[in-house]
A = this chain, B = another copy of it.
Amino acid sequence: MSSGYKSWILLTGFILFYVAYLLLGALVFSTIERPVEDKLKSDIQVLKEEFLNQSCVNATSLENFLEKVLQANKYGISILPNSSASSNWDLASSLFFANTLVTTVGYGHTTPLSDTGKAFSIFYALLGVPFTMLVLTACVQRLMHPVTYGPIDMCRQRIGLDPLAATAVHFAILLLLVVLGFFVVPAVVFSHIEDTWSFLDAIYFCFITLCTIGLGDYVPGEKPGQKFRSLYKISVMVYLFLGLMMMYLVLRAFHRMADLHGLTSFFQLPHCDEDTEEDKEPIIEVGHEDQHEAEASAKPLDPASQTSYNTINR
């Protein structure tokens, strides 16, 4: 089996296993947290009724009541009647939580309520975070040829730019496309779907999310009575995954450009790592030897280009 096929099968396997891992996590979180949430919800309703039945409301009783309300709210349990219909731990929401955990975004609008949930979060993220990094790296690895090496070569061969200029022009175009496709367009969509979000709020959400900061002051699909809530949550998860992939790709393209321009040497930082054979696989199948020649001719100025041959051919 050729190395290219093996690499694609491996990647498909990774992605399928990743989806299965998220589903499994969602099931476990939902099973652990749903009963605790139901208990807290009914407790808070009882509390509300008791408060309303009081003959007189003074500052102390109000403060005691509010303290409990705010405590429950911290765990994502709202006392408001229109919020109590939807659960934070149904399958779609648990899947969303599992996804924000392993991508390290961690909005924190829902957090595990029970000690079991907390312990499972640690265990789940311990495997899930490196696994997500692995899947993202593997995807980016496959995208480097069509998105980075290919267009740079085209710039050089068709327009006749020198390698440094070609890399810089390519990076500028890539950055512009990512900003448009993963910030501006999604922000327009989010500000239309979410009634209370302005365009700035939506851009702020996209940025805070794709940098994995995840403050959680804006979380999509949380308004009461959200239409197609599950589908919406899953779409946001896909956006998150693709967005992170593109951020990683931009970072790698930037690292490579900085390397070519001597910035990494200046800051004495690790050089951009050479990619494995599959990365630079030509679209038209060539013989193994020809392929290496093609690679060698394609990147004559890359200072570390000999690296990959030492590594690959060992």
Residues of chain A touching chain B, judged by Cβ–Cβ distance below 8 Å, are: 7, 10, 48, 51-52, 54, 57-59, 62-63, 66-67, 69-70, 73-75, 78-81, 100-101, 104-108, 111-112, 115, 118-119, 121-122, 125-126, 129, 134, 137-138, 141, 198, 200-201, 203-204, 207-208, 211-217, 265, 267-276, 278, 303-304, 306-307, 310-311, 314
Contacts and interface: CB of A to CB of B under 8 A. Distances in A.
Given A66-B79, A118-B204, A271-B311, A108 B304 contact: no
B307 A303 contact: no
A51 B125 CA distance: 44
Given A66-B69, A107-B108, 4 more contacts: A52-B57, A57-B57, A106-B213, A141-B270
Contacts of A81: 63
Contact of A310 (B58, B126, B208, B306): B306
Nearest to A11: B268
A7 B141 CA distance: 31
Given A58-B52, A122-B203, A214-B108, A73 B75 contact: no
Nearest to A252: B270
A299 to B, nearest CB: 14
B303 A101 contact: no
Contacts of A101: 213
A104 B212 contact: yes
A122 B52 contact: no
Nearest to A312: B265
A106 B269 contact: no
A48 B58 CA distance: 11
B51 A62 contact: yes
A7 B268 contact: yes
B70 A118 contact: no
Contacts of A137: 269-270
A173 to B, nearest CB: 19
B10 A217 contact: no
A99 to B, nearest CB: 12
A272 B214 CA distance: 29
